Amino acid sequence: MLRSIVGKALGFIGYTVQYGCIAHCAFEYLAEIVVCSGPSMEPTIRNYDVVISEKLSRHFYRIQKGDIVIAKSPNDPRTNICKRVIGLEGDKVCTSNPSDIFKSCKYVSKGHVWLEGDNLENSTDSRSYGPVPYALIRGRVCLKIWPPQEVGFLRNSPNYRVLRDE
């Protein structure tokens, strides 16, 4: 009797550890669920929207201009940021802060990306901290799952602009 109970308990623990490892690998290497906070990506992503961030694009260097990514903040590595990729390495990016009179142009250095929020008036992004190392990107946002009326794949923001070399 005791042997049967111990056997079932150990079997349950084994299955729990096994499925826990599978879940850990899935969230670490394939995708993760992210709750976004802050106004920097409005109107595309609002405060407390829930999105799925897939990680395979990052590992296979498939991040493109226009993608929304989750990255470690260059200012505070304990927090994540959600921004849109505006420039890849080698691109010339011309931007201006709302307080600037003239545009400033910079080249994105090798191994870096230029990230900006869709809400340019209320976003701390590459305009303030410069290009972000590619290694800080955690994943590409591919699907919004909350709120229910906005479930679906993300499209370009109305504010998104294609930047070309001048």
Which position among 83, 123, 126, 157 bears the catalytic label?
83
| Known catalytic membership, residue 40 | yes
Which position among 40, 123, 126, 157 bears the catalytic label?
40
- Assigned token pair, 45: 């992503």
E strand or H helix at 97, and its extent?
Answer: none
| Known catalytic membership, residue 110 | no
The pairing of beta strand 104-107 with beta strand 112-116: unpaired
- Taken as a whole, the chain contains a residue count of 166
For 137, residues 6+ apart whose C-beta sits below 8 A from its C-beta are 58, 63, 69, 70, 71, 113
Using CA atoms, how far apart are residues 165 and 66, in angstroms rounded to an integer? 16
Between the CA atoms of 149, 117, 94 and 55, what dihedral angle is there, to the nearest 10 degrees? -80
Which positions are catalytic? 40, 83
